Structure 1
Amino acid sequence: MQDFEPVSSPTAVKIVDAASNLFLQRGYKAVSINDIIREADVTKPTLYYYFADKEALFVQMGLRVLAEMGERLRYAAATPGALAERLVAVAAVLMANRDTDMRLMRHEMAAHLGPGHRAMLGRAFYAQLFVPIVGVMEAGLADGELARYSALTLAKMFMGMAEAFQEFAPRTLEGWEHQSETVFGTSDLNLHTLVDLFLHGVGITKE
């Protein structure tokens, strides 16, 4: 068993679920152990039997988010068909609402976790998210559909683009309420646009 696999005991999972709800609603600092105990409906000794402290609970929340995304990414990466179809499937996972939880987790992780826990989540992040996408890029390089950069660099580029698209898609600008479409909306930044930009860019090829 790898050290970044989430807990599986039913009681431990119940506690993590309760803590996750609170962390996502209030943020790490605003949640106390007593809040988690009340939310999970367990005793303090029960909580401490499974988890050393609040930081360990936050780490478990992160591990679960990453494990869920990793499972969906591995399934998407195995999509049959051309590279573009696999990338659309991967982008759909990266741009799903659940990714918002992951970005919150990364922010809170940097602000509140110690080096050991940050390193554990870093290993999980690489194994669960990067490895499936790197595999897609390696296949694209081997088939001659991608070029110029390493599979790891291509994976970083694609993940960065997907995060930017996911960030902008729901945004609106104040004072533009009369518009039929938002300035940054899903009609502008969608999965197929992302993949087209990644594969073909925006420059004009000169003869």
Structure 2
Amino acid sequence: MISNLLYKELRLAAHPNLFVFTLMGPLVLIPGYPYTMVFIFGLIGNFINLMYTRETNDIYYSTLLPLKRSEVVLSKWLVLLVSQMMTILISIPFAFLRLHLSSRPNPVGIEANVAFYGFGLIIFACFNFIFLTTYFQTAYKVGSSFLKALVPATIVAMLVEVLVHFPTLAWLDSVVFDQQMQQLPILGAGLLIYIIAMWATYKISARNFSQVNL
């Protein structure tokens, strides 16, 4: 069932810009660039995708299929999950490549290191929870849902970029192996927060959508 839902979303309902913004991982090669924008672009891609869903009446179409309402929510939830995991996986080889191409630190903010991915998962979790749960209160108001979710996600991204400039937190910006091992708890915390937030996002979104009169 999950594979069929995802197949339908990616082949029939997805907007091309979803794939474009998912492929922003190479941005970590740009010197002097705020790398958390890789995650922010992923959020924009999913917003455009859901806006396209509204314009094509895909939610209404999906409810006419032999699907439960919770499965309609699951299909959109899966797109978020898969696109965000792909954003991370695609960016990782370029993060390693950056280490070989340049040893100069990023003057703007955090490096593409272990802590970077932990914080990225937190940015995703924050956005997903607000965005989907708000959207499925109406299954129509994409713009307001996006703005409500983007503000806290952007604040987290800005804090991440600023924190590494404090001398006591300089280890968060390191690409040295030993200090990246020290960053593993941040990655673990980010992963745990993401898993819990995604579980809550699906449950609350499904409950909200069950009460929507299409």
Task: Name the TM-score class by shorter chain.
Answer: 0.3 to 0.5
TM-score, scaled to structure 2 = 0.36
TM-score, scaled to structure 1 = 0.37
Query: Which fold has the larger relative contact order, with Cα–Cα distance below 8 Å and residues 6 or more apart in sequence?
Result: 2
Structure with the bigger percentage of helix: 2
Indicate the structure (1 or 2) with the bigger Cα radius of gyration.
1
